[in-house]
Structure 1
Amino acid sequence: MTEVSDFSDQIAGGKNKSNVHCQFCNSLMLKAQEGTYSEEEVDVPLMMQKQDRTADSLNSEPLKGFWLVKDMMMFENIGFSNTVDGKKFLVCADCERGPVGYHDLSTRHCFLALKRVVHKDS
């Protein structure tokens, strides 16, 4: 698991210091200062799954360190998957790669994994 300290240079005042982009197509997902840092740790499905898996057997990894976005309208470019166990997984709306995080249906908050995005200013 990636240590949160690996991303400490991306956090300023508890917020994302730079813009957040898709690591595959460079699409802007979230503007600077729109996400609040959360140390939550959650199992998120791997971006690449084995072809012989069934719908019930997604391989996942524990991720720690997310940008909490309380209003989904704050995103510049994000897509949502089908619902799985009270969550919708977040994907890039342009290239549809992901999941890059999840949307908790009970709180209506979105969590964007620091490890699965790129941080840079335009």
Structure 2
Amino acid sequence: MTETNLNPNNIRCVNEKCRTLILKKNSAELKTNLTLPEMTSKSEKISSRGWFLSNIYTFDNIGVTKPTQMDSFGNDFRFLICAECEIGPLGYLDNANKSIFLAEDRVFQDDA
């Protein structure tokens, strides 16, 4: 990971009434082309950019849903939500590929 690809700010919950710290700055690498369900409907939306992590314990405060899909090998796919207010999906956890993505347009970046 290069320092320029790391999140430059703390990442907080997008809910204005919550703003819980989800991820400290310089903890995740920027990636592109993520697909997540809409926050208010069941349709899918492409989130063009997001933060990639390889360890769930890097988060300060995140919730993980029960498995939403199982593949033929028994691997599960889970959505990330705010652990305080439960808004989401903010991203996803793919156990098969050991990948964690947090969509940039689903969180608030605190520049303080």
The two structures share one fold, judged by TM-score above 0.5: yes
Deviations 1:73-96 (A, max 9, x none): 000000011212331000000000
Alignment partner, residue 15 of structure 1: 6
SS at match of 1:73: helix
Judge conservation of contact 1:72–1:109 (CA < 8 Å) in 2.
no
Cα drift, residue 121 of structure 1: 3.9
Alignment partner, residue 28 of structure 1: 21
Match of 1:68 among 47, 52, 57: 52
Structure 1 outlier segments of 4+, above 2 Å: none
What TM-score, normalized to structure 2?
0.85
Judge conservation of contact 1:37–1:66 (CA < 8 Å) in 2.
yes
Judge conservation of contact 1:88–1:103 (CA < 8 Å) in 2.
yes
1:38 aligns with 2:22: no
Consecutive unaligned residues of structure 2, counting only runs of 5 or more, are: 70-75
Deviations 1:32-54 (A, max 9, x none): 00001111x232111112xxxxx
**What is the root-mean-square deviation of aligned Cα atoms in Å?**
1.3
Alignment partner, residue 55 of structure 1: none
Q: Which residue identity lines up with residue 88 of structure 2 in the other structure?
A: G
How many positions carry a matched residue from both structures? 102
What TM-score, normalized to structure 1?
0.78
